Structure 1
Amino acid sequence: MPELWAGTDANKAAHHCTVIDTDATKVLSRRVPNNEPELLELIGDVLSLAQDSPATWAVDLNAGGDALLGFIHGLWFWLSIRAVATVSDG
């Protein structure tokens, strides 16, 4: 049973999601438009690949970003690159 990590770069018009397993092997890479049916399909595909094992999601948003992906999935966290840079500056 695979454990997966899904990273999503969220943008206004479209998102890009890359999923890797615990060996860092890419198992999915997809660009999807920012609409509910396509996002639900992406989420379903990732959960199907996970085969009832954990799938950890990270979403990269810049300054708040789009909420649609979050409302649909409901189980992810995000870090904006700006926040990471601010924290790392000390």
Structure 2
Amino acid sequence: MPSSGPKLREVFGERQAEHGTVLVVVDQPASIGALSPPALARDTGCPVACPRADDAADRRSLFPARP
């Protein structure tokens, strides 16, 4: 994932053009600043989800790490 604002906007725009609605999922919302992928995603019309830590742990247990 690119880290610059213009590149992120480009990625979100390309995905929207190809797939329609694009959901951006953030797994560590506390460590992300204001000029971040979620802020840019919202600005480009993408919904953003921040699952609770308990939910993320539950999902990780469904997909064990590969050796």
Length-normalised TM-score, structure 1: 0.44
1:54 and 1:35 map into 2 onto residues whose CA distance is 22
Higher helix fraction: Structure 1 or Structure 2? 2
2:14 paired residue number: 45
Which structure would you say has the larger RCO, counting Cα contacts within 8 Å and 6 or more residues apart?
2
1:65 to 24, 28, 31: 31
- The structure richer in strand per residue is 1
Alignment deviations for residues 41-79 of structure 1 (CA, whole Å, 9 cap, x no partner)? 1111110111xx332221222x61223112111220122
4+ runs of 1 displaced by more than 6 Å?
none
Q: CA deviation at 1:84?
A: 2.2
| % same residue | 14
Which runs of no fewer than 5 residues in structure 1 stay unpaired? Answer: 1-30
